[in-house]
Amino acid sequence: MPIGFRIAAERVRAEQALIERFAKVPVACISDSMRRLVAGGARIRPIGPAKMCGPAFVVKTAPGDNLMVHKALSLAKRGDIVVVDAGGDLTNAIIGERMVTVAHERGLAGMIINGAIRDADTLRNHTLPVFAAGITHRGPYKNGPGEINYPIAIDGMVIESGDIIVADDDGFVCVPIRDAAEVCTAAESKFEHETNTPPGSDGKSDDVLRALGCEFPEEAP
């Protein structure tokens, strides 16, 4: 198939039980559990509701064009999160109220757009979570090119269909499916520790400072 007009077969999805575990953990804990190396799209913010969790269904499209996004909405399965890399361009909206309504009717878990959206007032009050890099009134083109189920990268975070997307008010993170079980266990452990440990009570900062040679007034000779 020619680059720019192709649709790959779907990848294996994580088990629903694992997705449900991820949904209970804050994005920050998941990010920390991946050594803070996986960060994508700090500019991409929730338009309305923020919390979502599910398998990624990835789309790459030319900036300002949503032809392949329409096709993706017909292929994505219930519970999927459609993640669109439109190059971060904010000139034309990639989706608006009509497409979000279609996504909601098909049972998708949300949409993430590395690009712009429109009909912002409606999307702010919609039940389907939508993340985007910006807002514009200018509509999209429908000429292509575009690809579905081929890897994309948003600010260095590689996302493949089937990877697990978790999002909340802090942003969103992608967990590679091959690492998902290990990351989930680590993130759950971190979340439990933070929940049960009062802030500033573990003394770790003092230990680090001492190791770096810092002297405290009460310890000075």
Instruction: Render pLDDT for 112-169 as a digit per residue (tens, 0 to 9).
Output: 999 999 999 999 999 999 999 999 999 999 999 999 999 999 988 999 999 999 999 9
Instruction: Render pLDDT for 91-101 as a digit per residue (tens, 0 to 9).
Output: 999 999 999 99
pLDDT of 127: 97
Give the mean model confidence (pLDDT) for residues 63-90.
Answer: 98
Handedness of CA 32, 34, 40, 44 (dihedral sign): negative
pLDDT band at residue 220 under the 50/70/90 scheme: low
pLDDT of 39: 73
pLDDT of 211: 92
Asked if 4 and 144 touch (Cβ cutoff 8 Å), the reply is yes
CA distances from 15 to 51, 54, 115, 164, 196 (A): 19, 10, 30, 10, 29
Residue with tokens 């802090």, as numbered in its chain? 170
3-state secondary structure labels for all residues of 152-201: EEECCEEECCCCEEEEECCEEEEECHHHHHHHHHHHHHHHHHHHHCCCCC
pLDDT of 218: 73
pLDDT band at residue 201 under the 50/70/90 scheme: low
Asked if 27 and 173 touch (Cβ cutoff 8 Å), the reply is yes
CA dist., res. 176 & res. 162, Å (int) = 8
Residue with tokens 């994508």, as numbered in its chain? 40
Token pair for 159: 């996302």
CA dist., res. 172 & res. 112, Å (int) = 9
Q: Is 89 left (phi over 0), alpha (psi -120 to 50) or beta?
A: beta
Asked if 145 and 125 touch (Cβ cutoff 8 Å), the reply is no
Q: Tell me the domains of the chain and their CATH numbers.
A: 5-219 (3.50.30.40)
pLDDT of 11: 86
